[in-house]
Amino acid sequence: MADDSQKCAQAGDRVRVSYVGRFADGTVFDSSEGHPPLEFTIGAGEVIAGFDAAVTGLSPGERRSVEIAPEQGYGLHLPEMVAEVERSRIPDSHLLAVGNFLEVSTPRGDSFEMRVAGLTETTVTLDGNHPLAGKTLFFEVELLNID
């Protein structure tokens, strides 16, 4: 078996990492703790670009702390992806809750998920942005191994 302890992770490598993701205030929004390590191929678009970059160049056992701007994360929060609709247009609108996701269909038949961002007696505010869009993310990553 080859010794990969000195190899550095690069584009095309299949890697396994442990990580903790935090917001600027220190709140953890995601972590591999208590779960199997995250496995992905660097540069294959399986993770956000900033996470790919954070792992690139690490050797197994190495750790890195990184700050990922929205442009390298889940993108900017786009106001045009937010819509306010009448509650009467949503079936079972009495079951709505802020934070829930709804499947929405376009007139062309495409469908996608939107998060319920706000509710009033008569309207529902839907947000099609990723929940982490517009946020700067802080990750601590450790490269466990390279396949």
What's the mean pLDDT when you consider all of the chain? Answer: 93
What's the gap between Cα 83 and its chain centre? 22
Q: Are 7 and 130 in contact (CB under 8 A)?
A: no
Q: Residue 47 above 70 pLDDT?
A: yes
> What is the predicted pLDDT for the residue at 91?
84
What is the C-alpha separation between 100 and 147, in angstroms, rounded? 38
Which residues are paired to 143 by β-bridges? 17
- Asked if the 15-75+132-146 domain carries CATH number 1.10.10.10, the reply is no
Closest CA to 86 of 117, 128, 115, 126: 126
What is the C-alpha separation between 104 and 4, in angstroms, rounded? 47
Signed CA dihedral, 46, 112, 123, 80: sign only: positive
CATH 2.40.10.330 intervals, the chain: 79-127
- Asked if the 79-127 domain carries CATH number 2.10.109.10, the reply is no
Place of tokens 């942005």: 129
- Report the amino acid identity of residue 132: L
Identify the residue with better confidence: 132 or 3: 132
Which helix (H) or strand (E) covers residue 116, if one does? Answer: strand 111-119
> What is the predicted pLDDT for the residue at 42?
98
Give residue-wise pLDDT tens across range 106-146. 889 889 899 999 999 999 999 999 999 999 999 999 999 99
CATH 3.10.50.40 intervals, the chain: 15-75+132-146
What letter does residue 46 receive in the DSSP assignment? Answer: S
- Report the amino acid identity of residue 6: Q
- Report the amino acid identity of residue 56: T
Signed CA dihedral, 83, 87, 90, 95: sign only: positive
Give residue-wise pLDDT tens across range 8-30. 999 999 999 999 999 999 999 99
